[in-house]
Amino acid sequence: MPKNALLKTDEIGVFALGGLGEVGKNTYVYEIKDQIFIVDAGILFPDDDLLGIDYVIPDYTYLKENEERIVGLFITHGHEDHIGGIPYLLKQVKIPRIYASGIAVDLIEYKLGEHKDLRVPKIEEYKSYYSYNFKGVDISFIRLNHSIPDMFGIVFRTEQGPIFHTGDFKIDYTPVGPHAEYDKLANLGQEGTLLLVSDSTNAEQEGLIQSESKVGKSINELFTRINGRIIIATFASNLYRIQQIIEASELTGRKVAVFGRSMERAIEAGQQSGYIKPRKGTFASVDELNRYRLEETCILVTGSQGEPLAALSRIANGSHRQIKTVKGDTVIFSSSPIPGNQDPINKTINLLFRNDVNVITHGPITDTHTSGHGSGPDLKLMLTLIKPKFFIPMHGEHRMLKHHRGLAIECGVSEENILIMDNGDVAALTKDTIRQAGKVQASDVYIDGTGIGNIGSHVLRERKILSEEGLFSVVLSIDSNKKTLVTDPTVISRGFIYMKGNEELTSSLASDVKKLVLEQLPKKSYNELNLKQSIIELLTDKIYDITLRKPMIIPIIMHLGIN
């Protein structure tokens, strides 16, 4: 397979199939010496307007067309927006090897086990001191801190100079877990870094991001002050937080029960890797909960983002089969809203207040959460340590990328050496130059049930109309031989008007359709497609004039008397 036609000889290609101009589906590609190195393969959780869509993944067409040049998939850490797309990538593209570390390996193996008929490559588990040698490229790793253990930045040492891809990170001087390898960052800066590609999620935030260990102390204090049962929601992937909740429960003599499949799976993986270390007897099964008084229990659940099917949402709306809220319960949100999730979270909180329970969210008084992404000062420290010649901000909405560019200029990076890119934009890099070389295909692909990419914008537009305007259908029985109507048209309405009580309107519309059909049937030019289109145009105008609404109109024609 030939090299990327957008690149000149000796140029390095850098681009994203997902992760630029958005927070999610992080999938980055480095083309070095005609080899393709993929960094992460994430998913994006859909906005409310993507009706019925489960996940959004990148378009993998470019990787499919160039799969012979793919060296491997390198995973920075185990969050869904970095590993969630792996099964869908493997269904379409042959990946020779996956490189991942620590807890990410367990989470990837769980994920792949849920998908049948996958060509699963070998998963190579790397450590922070490992390095891999390819043609003209050495790859090594730098441990950083994030809200999940085993987060690693990736160093590509090329003939043109080192490239550093940070992954998601924050600066935490008192982390829960291993410290970041700041010495390696400083050494890389001394070496002379060619390009830095860095996380931009919290670029707009000026204050310092507090340490994970401070949140642990805050949770301990909360648990000590609360008298009744505690129901606490957090991200299933935040193993540090889960361990802090377990420790706070043990400190206050509470048994921990876990609800939510992703939470159960994460705890199992965390225990295997040693990040979750409960004392014997800390966990209680559903059946065992009844043996303890409510104030002796802590319920650990999924649903911190208001997901409608998650455990906390079902507890809030009373549909959970095993847990019902009672007066005196305290619900703690140990998370902050992902952009776009505030409405469903508010809905869950309001339901909980209706159930007369106490609700505690992260705020100035109670530190129940901290971000895993570095704010402005953290990003500046990374830029100062790495001292890059060229810079590409990644992982963030466009305004975050622009803000990160401003921080880089403050730290001494020349403005002309910084590229703000969108998904698909290809940066071409040499030791002396960086330029935008063109685009590769990089659109959104929708996952709907088991289907990949079979839902397009037309289907989503139809779903939106159905959800907002409803459906109006007219059923016609036509004698094909005599070219006449057998019965009067039948009208069906769903989500548009209630049939009972609107007989006059539906009868009038049916009469208009009958008149149109009787005019068109005898004509030599008659065909079914034209008749359906004429009915749609007639009803669209009539219904809008009367109701100011535009429901989806579906004519159904049944032919009788065909020889």
pLDDT (tens digit, 9 = 90+) per residue, 350-385? 999 999 999 988 654 456 667 788 899 999 999 999
Catalytic residue (choose from 79, 82, 362, 373) = 373
Concerning whether 199 is annotated as a catalytic residue, the answer is yes
What is the arithmetic mean of pLDDT over 466-477? Answer: 80
Residue 459, pLDDT > 90, answer: no
The label of the residue with tokens 């159960």 reads: 264
What is the average per-residue pLDDT within 112-140?
A: 94
Average confidence (pLDDT) over 312-340: 86
**CA 128 and chain centroid, separation:** 27
Residue pair 27/58 in contact (Cβ under 8 Å)? The answer is yes
Summarize pLDDT for 267-303 with one digit per residue, the tens: 998 998 889 999 999 999 988 988 999 999 999 998 8
Backbone φ and ψ for 503, nearest 5 degrees, come out as: -60, -35
Q: What is the pLDDT of residue 44?
A: 83
Residue 255 has pLDDT above 60, yes or no: yes
The pLDDT of 380-399, averaged and rounded, is 96
Whether 373 is catalytic is yes
Q: What is the pLDDT of residues 173-232, one digit of tens each?
A: 999 889 999 999 999 999 999 999 999 999 998 888 878 788 888 899 999 999 999 999
400-417 per-position pLDDT tens digit: 999 999 999 999 999 999
Band the pLDDT of 1: cuts 50, 70, 90: very low
Domains and CATH numbers, the chain: 12-207+371-452 (3.60.15.10), 212-360 (3.40.50.10710), 469-560 (3.10.20.580)
- Kindly tell me if the per-residue pLDDT of 453 is higher than 60: no
**8-19: pLDDT as tens digits:** 988 999 999 999
pLDDT at 457 over 60: no
- Cα 3 to Cα 198: distance, rounded to the nearest angstrom: 26
Between 210 and 138, residue with greater pLDDT: 138
Tokens of 32: 């070095």
- Tell me the whole-structure pTM to 2 decimals: 0.79
| Cβ atoms 98, 71 nearer than 8 A | no
Predicted local distance difference test score (pLDDT) of residue 2: 54
Model pLDDT, residue 467: 65
pLDDT tens-place string over residues 480-507:
777 788 888 888 887 776 656 677 788 8
The listed range with the strongest mean pLDDT (56-60, 226-230, 462-466) is: 226-230
DSSP state letters, 222-253: HHHH--S-EEEE--TT-HHHHHHHHHHHHHTT
Residue 446: pLDDT band by 50, 70, 90 thresholds?
confident
Token pair for residue 156? 């590509």
Task: Report pLDDT for 550.
Answer: 82
How high does pLDDT run on average in the chain? 88
Length of the chain: 563
Q: Does position 144 have pLDDT exceeding 90, yes or no?
A: yes
List CB contacts of 248: < 8 A, sequence separation 6 or more: 216, 219, 220, 222, 223, 298
The first and second tokens of residue 474, run together, are 């007219």
Task: Please give the DSSP secondary-structure letter assigned to residue 13.
Answer: E
- pLDDT of 185 reads 97
**Is the pLDDT at 242 greater than 70, yes or no?**
yes
d(CA 267, CA 245): 12
- Residues 40, 199, 329, 425: which is the catalytic one? 199
Confidence of residue 75 (pLDDT cuts 50, 70, 90): very high
